[in-house]
A and B are shown apart, each in its own frame.
Chain A
Amino acid sequence: MATVEERQSDRVQAGQNQEEWQAAEKVLTSLQLARKNYSLYPENHVNCERALEQFWLQLDNYLSSYGNLRFDLAKDKVIFQGEVMLSEPPEEGNLPFTLFRDGIQWLELQRGIDSEEVEQFLQLLNKYRILSDEPEGDLVTALWEARFPHIQYYVADMFWGAEPEFDLTPSPGAAEEGAEVLEEENEKASKSECFPPIEPAALKMTPEEEAELREMVRMEEKRDPVFEYLDILLDSLLELREKENFIHILESLEDLFHDSLARKNFEITLKILKSLRYLRKTFAAETNWALPLIDNFLLTASSAKSLRPMQTAWLDMDADEIGQVQQILVLLQPEAIQTLGGMLIETNSLRLQKMLLEVIYVLAYRDLKPLEAMLGRPEEELVQRLVYVLGRLDGEKSTQILTRMVRHPSPRVRHEALKPLLSRGNTDIRGLFHLIDDENDDVRRLILRHMGQDRNKATETLLLDYLEQGKQKRSDDEHIIACFRTLGRCGSQSSIPFLRKMLVGRGWLPSFRKVSYRQGAAFALQSMGTQESQEVLEEASKSLFPGVRAIAQKIIDGQTKQKKG
């Protein structure tokens, strides 16, 4: 029978066990809460941080007071010191099941564990909360990799059922007749090709070899295996000339392509594209079915789906990286213009814009159609920039498109289209003459400046007709005068009768035109600079009409000043 002291001791012991139990239960409860938060929120969410802190506090409290904490596991239970502490249905997502599913029989958290280890442990618990079909790994493979110094566990084999025992007895055919045969074999071997023995000295490692080995291992553990992987996939494409395999490998390359863009691993992206172009050339002569597959890859690589994710990545790209991206983009299909154009107006970085314009130019050079298709877009700024690119492209097709674009509703676009058109030597001015009446000052100035560059019969005829017939749509004096000045620069003797008529003639002119026409005519005659034109001016300076005289005299005075100056 227990003594009073023994009973008291038992009671004290029971009290201590009760406290320990409660402390362990708090750890488990806080672990459950932490798991739940990790499953609901991103890891850096404040709820996760709080839950982690709470779990760590409870755990630290237990470990300091009672030492290592071990839980035993069943598929639906967590057991502490032989008693069930937690019971949950054996379902995915529940803690006992998650641990038990992968064969963990017990789990021990040990003194010395720090919060970083705890956090990583929680991350793994969350990652492997639910397993997919045909998983790559599980909680146990992850724990093995992590090598947590203060987390111990025991795993039972649970994959293997009633597989047959492996028979280690040799095959009946393998045994020979015994010693006699051995001797015979040895004689044959000694007479035949003999491999010399290995000299023991040859097996000693030199210091240089030791150093080389260390470096080999260091490099191996440091390098990114993706480079070799890529080379292997490419060589497989080159050598394995079967369609099904080819498609499969291309799919893997596609994944690699997207991944490398997202991670800014541009060396890989570039290599993929260059290599595929090389493969395309190689296959062109031999394997017809491969070309559409490669083209399709390149088309997909050029699509919005591939390129759009890059926009996030290039927000903080430096100059070198932008250069690399440029090298990549120019290897894409011209269809990429459709996406790149959009990205062009969405970025504020001048450097990026410049790069994109360059790329669009290169792509459009190969095929104008994608760019042309973009010109119908409503975004004025985009169209203007694309027209700028178009302007850099020579050829009949681009001229045709530019000629169309000078009728675009946007004055900026018209102006942008006009510039390159006018610089092309073979542009027919008749198609552009209507711009003389453009609502936009810059457009009008541009066309007039162009027409006034040199003496040109066609231009002269158009202008004469325009002015004589009063075809102007604009009535402002400035415009009229500008047209006359242009006539003066491009015109010839043929214009003098008209100009004389405008300056000194008495024919009826609406009063609102009289002055500007006379002035314009005077300026035109001045610009002509011929003897005949000068004579008309002299004549006008002696006109009976003060207005006419004044206009002509002003011109002559100006000429005199110029001569003196």
Chain B
Amino acid sequence: MSEQKPELSVLGGRFVKAFHHMISTVKIHQENNQLIKESVTHFAEALSQISGGMELEIILWRGRFFIQGEKLYYRKESFSLINEMLDYFPQRGLRGLLFLPSFKESSLKEFVTFARLLNESAGRDDPPNWLDKQLKASDLKWVEILKEMDEAPPELELKRKEQARQSYMHAMVAVKEVAQKVSQRSVAGIRKARRLAQTMVDLVLDDESLMLGLTTIRDYDDYTYTHSVNVAVLAMALGKRIGLSQIFLEQLGICGMFHDLGKVEVPIEILLKPDMLNTGEWDQMRKHPLIGVHRVLNLHASREMKSRAALGPFEHHLNYNLTGYPKIHFVSKVTLFGKILRIADTYDALTSERKYRPRAFSPDEALRLMWSKVGEDYDPILLKIFVNMVGVYPVGTILKLDTGEMGLVVDYPRDDERTRPEVLLLEDDGQGGLKGGKTVSLEERDEKTGSFLRNVLRCHHPAKLGIQPAQFYLQEAS
């Protein structure tokens, strides 16, 4: 679906900045000060631009601003400003604000009053209700406050989750279809795969944490296909982080989806063998990148697409220092796509239960293992960004907290804070299993002492508790 509003991030950023400037200026200066006039005028202009004459809704949800239902993306240099605003709203018990079109007829004085009331409301008992009353008393009919709520998330979140779930599922099917066709030596079109890759790019750009949450999906019977989709999503997310354009993200997604195409020809007994492989079996296994390349040639795609798609199968077992496999003679370096896929593939594989390994690594263990080989197996810059992206405790990690609670990492609301995630507390469901409780942030502090309310004692792999983390991320969508 195309819902393109290319100006949103620019206009939205300007609007939030102008809003912040206005409330800060009103806090410091007297009402008749020229600076206040300027800041209020600027805010009114920004509001007018972004609303386009319609009503404008700005909502804070799970640590992000949404404007007219669209997540607001902001640049790194805006972090501190945005963070201040992210604190400003909850301090006043606000979920959001709704500006009605009649704001155009309001005076600068009314804007100043509005800003002043907002600032003052923080010190009140029951700030949102106080603010509501004050706005009505001041006859400021062009703005309504949206109070915080604990109930079900807004529709947009549900819609997004459903779309993500479907895209993931369909991507698996698409990969399977193509794999089956190429294994029969038929030509396979990649129209479906491309459509899905494009959808996933949009989803990754829109809600990276949700998509990263989906990469915790494990299908123990059909590992290869979930693994392929997971690698695609992880790769696209990393690609987005380093600033690749959308077209390249799509290609990266295609590479990820088809990186293990060669495995269709590795005998299943070898793939699922619980013990160490013997020499002959290992030789067969090491051929799968080359077979994958060969299978890519069977895709009905342009040369440019095949050129890129071939990188996935060929390079995903090549290390940064060119060790690994397959043996190379003509290839003299690993491409950027190859380096990204190496990281994504390893991370997903390490965090999956495999018969030949005594246990799966928990996500944080996997990161530490990979980090120990930085510069050898993995590109140092890319691995750094990847670790920053998934967080020290990646989405899907089970945390044992010092409160005795167990939590499932679900999100990192702030881009500049990757050590204290939001966790979904897990509770006994009374039937021997676990259910999701409330979501808490590990950043929450005791008001009196200032210390963190919850700290991490240790981490676990979700499989040990019989958990599919994605079940919890998507349960509100199904």
- Which one of B250, B294, B372, B466 contacts A240 once the chains associate, using CB atoms below 8 Å? B294
Chain A min CB distance to B331 (Å)? 4
In the complex, B365 has a CB within 8 A of chain A: yes
Which residue of chain A has its CB nearest to the CB of B305? A136
* Whole-angstrom distance between the Cβ of B394 and the nearest chain A Cβ: 12
Is the CB of A425 closer than 8 A to any CB of chain B?
A: no
For A255, the chain B residues whose CB sits under 8 A away are 303
Contact across chains for A153 and B2 when beta carbons are under 8 A apart: yes
| CB < 8 Å neighbour of A225 from B4, B250, B308, B470 | B308
B-side contacts of A137, CB under 8 Å = 190-191, 194
Q: Is the Cβ of B6 less than 8 Å from the Cβ of A240?
A: no
> Nearest-CB distance from A535 to chain B (Å)?
82
Contact check, A203 vs B388: say whether CB atoms are below 8 A apart. yes
B465 touching A175, Cβ below 8 Å: yes
With both beta carbons as reference points, the residue of chain B lying nearest to A186 in the complex is identified as B458
Closest Cβ of chain B: how far from A475's Cβ, in Å?
71
Beta-carbon contact of A168 and B474 below 8 Å: yes
B246 within 8 A of A: yes
Pair B303/A173 contact, Cβ less than 8 Å:
no
Q: Which residues of A contact B220 (CB under 8 A)?
A: 170-171, 173-174
Taking CB atoms, residues of chain A closer than 8 Å to B3 are 152
Query: Does B172 sit within 8 A of A, measured CB to CB?
Result: yes
Interface size class of B (residues with CB under 8 A): 35 or more
Give the residues in chain B near A245, CB-CB below 8 Å. 290-291, 294
Bound CA–CA A453/B244 (angstroms):
78
- B273, CB-defined interface residue at 8 Å: no
**Residue A19 interfacial (CB < 8 Å):** no
Given A144-B2, A203-B384, A213-B381, does the pair A133, B463 have CB atoms closer than 8 Å? no
Out of B294, B301, B368, which one reaches A236, CB within 8 Å? B294
Q: Is the CB of B359 within 8 A of A147?
A: no
Chain A residue numbers with a CB within 8 Å of B243 are 213-214, 217
Q: Which of A44-52, A177-185, A323-331, A409-417 contacts B (4 or more CB under 8 A)?
A: A177-185
Contact mask A114-158 → B, CB, 8 Å, 1/0? Answer: 000000000000000000111111101101110101001111010
Interface residues on A, range: 35 or more
B91 interface residue (CB < 8 Å to A): no
Cβ–Cβ contact A141 & B329, under 8 A: no
Q: Is B1 close to A, CB under 8 A?
A: yes
Quick one: closest B residue to A107, CB to CB?
B2
Whether the Cβ atoms of A221 and B245 lie closer than 8 Å is: yes
Are B314 and A232 within 8 A (Cβ)? yes
Q: Which of A81-89, A192-200, A294-302, A553-561 contacts B (4 or more CB under 8 A)?
A: A192-200
Q: Is A212 an interface residue (CB 8 A)?
A: yes
- With A141-B198, A168-B217, A225-B304 given, is the CB distance from A135 to B189 under 8 Å? yes
* CB–CB B195/A135 < 8 A: no
- When distances are taken between beta carbons in the complex, the residues of chain B under 8 Å from A186 are 458, 460
Docked-complex contact B463 and A217, CB < 8 angstroms: no
Which of chain B's residues 214-247 have a Cβ closer than 8 Å to chain A? Answer: 217-221, 242-247
Q: Shortest beta-carbon distance, B197 to chain A, in Å?
A: 9
Interchain CB contact under 8 A, A152 and B191: no
B464 near A228 (CB under 8 angstroms)? no
For residue B70, give the distance in angstroms from its CB to the closest CB of chain A: 14
Taken residue by residue from 470 to 487, chain A's Cβ proximity to chain B (1 for < 8 Å, 0 otherwise) reads as 000000000000000000
Q: Which of A159-167, A376-384, A426-434, A495-503 lies on the face that meets chain B?
A: A159-167
Chain B residues closer than 8 Å to A318, beta-carbon distance: none
In Å, the complex CA distance between A422 and B384 comes to 76
Q: How far is the CA of A245 from the CA of B245 in the complex (A)?
A: 34
Q: Report Cα–Cα, A255/B372, bound state, in Å.
A: 43
Chain A's closest residue to B251 (CB) is: A225
**Smallest Cβ distance from B378 to chain A, in angstroms?**
13
B303 and A256 contacting across the interface, CB-CB below 8 Å: yes
Question: Which residues of A have CB within 8 Å of B365?
Answer: 189, 195
**Which residues A6-62 have CB closer than 8 A to chain B?**
none
A231 touches B (CB below 8 Å): yes
- When the two chains form their complex, are residues A238 and B387 in contact, meaning their CB atoms are under 8 A apart? no
A-chain residues with CB within 8 Å of residue B188 when the two chains form the complex:
134
Instruction: Establish whether residues B301 and A136, one from each chain, have CB atoms under 8 Å apart when the complex forms.
Output: yes
Q: Find B466's partner among A135, A174, A202 (CB 8 Å cutoff).
A: A174
Given A197-B368, A232-B314, A248-B297, A176 contacting B466 (CB threshold 8 A)? yes
A232 vs B307: C-alpha distance when bound (angstroms): 9
Residues of B within 8 A of A286 (CB): none
Contact bitstring B273-310, A, C-beta under 8 A = 1, else 0: 00000000000000100110110010111111111101
Residues of A within 8 A of B1 (CB): 154-155
| Chain A min CB distance to B284 (Å) | 12
- Whether a CB of chain A sits under 8 angstroms from the CB of B36 is no
Say whether A228 contacts B329, CB under 8 Å.
no
In the complex, whether A169 has a CB less than 8 A from a CB of chain B is yes
Does A316 have its Cβ within 8 Å of any Cβ on chain B? no
Q: Does A220 contact B (CB under 8 A)?
A: yes
Q: Which of B336, B384, B464 is in CB contact (< 8 Å) with A220?
A: B336
**With contact pairs A159-B195, A203-B387, A203-B388 given, residues A228 and B189 touching in the complex (Cβ less than 8 Å):** no
A residues within 8 A CB of B64? none
Q: Which residues of A contact B290 (CB under 8 A)?
A: 235-236, 239-240, 245
Neighbouring B residues of A133 by C-beta, 8 Å: 189
Residues of B contacting A212 with CB < 8 Å? 381
Report chain B residues within 8 Å CB of A200.
419
Residue on B with the closest CB to A103?
B195
Q: How far is the CB of A210 from chain B (nearest CB, A)?
A: 9
Q: How far is the CA of A137 from the CA of B299 in the complex (A)?
A: 12
A232 CB contact (under 8 Å) in B192, B331, B458, B468? B331
Task: Let me know if B371 and A229 touch, CB within 8 A.
Answer: no
Q: Which of B247, B311, B329, B330 lies at the interface centre, i.e. has the most chain A CB atoms within 10 A of its CB?
A: B330
Q: Is A231 a contact partner of B336 (Cβ separation < 8 A)? A: no
Contact A198 B371 (CB under 8 A): yes
Judge whether A163 and B330 touch: CB under 8 Å.
no
B467 at the interface (CB under 8 A from A): yes
Q: Which of A174, A189, A195 contacts B371 (CB 8 A)?
A: A195
A437 at the interface (CB under 8 A from B): no
Question: Closest A-chain residue to B328, C-beta based?
Answer: A235
Cα distance A64–B121 in the bound complex, in angstroms = 46
Q: What residues of B have a CB within 8 angstroms of the CB of A275 in the complex?
A: 330
User: Counting CB contacts under 8 A, is A249 at the interface?
Assistant: yes
Chain B residue, CB-CB nearest to A153: B2
Measured in the bound complex, the distance between the Cα atoms of B13 and A491 in whole Å is 106
Indicate if the CB atoms of B307 and A229 lie closer than 8 Å.
Answer: yes
Q: How far is the CA of A176 from the CA of B358 in the complex (A)?
A: 13
Measuring CB to CB, which residues of chain A are less than 8 angstroms from any residue of chain B?
A: 132-138, 140-141, 143-145, 147, 149, 152-155, 157, 159-160, 163, 165-166, 168-171, 173-176, 178, 181-182, 185-186, 189, 195-198, 200, 202-203, 205, 209, 212-214, 216-217, 219-221, 225-226, 228-236, 238-240, 245, 248-249, 251-252, 255-256, 259, 275
Residues of B that sit less than 8 Å from A by CB = 1-4, 6, 165-166, 168-170, 172-173, 187-192, 194-195, 198, 217-221, 242-248, 250, 287, 290-291, 293-294, 297, 299-308, 310-311, 314, 326-332, 335-337, 353, 359, 365, 367-369, 371-372, 380-381, 384-385, 387-388, 392, 419, 458, 460, 463-468, 470-471, 474
Closest 10 CB pairs of A and B: A175-B466, A134-B189, A195-B368, A229-B307, A225-B307, A171-B220, A231-B330, A234-B330, A220-B336, A231-B331
Could you list 15 A-B pairs, sorted by A, with CB under 8 Å? A136-B299, A141-B198, A168-B217, A168-B470, A168-B474, A170-B463, A170-B466, A176-B464, A181-B464, A186-B460, A196-B368, A198-B368, A225-B307, A232-B330, A238-B329
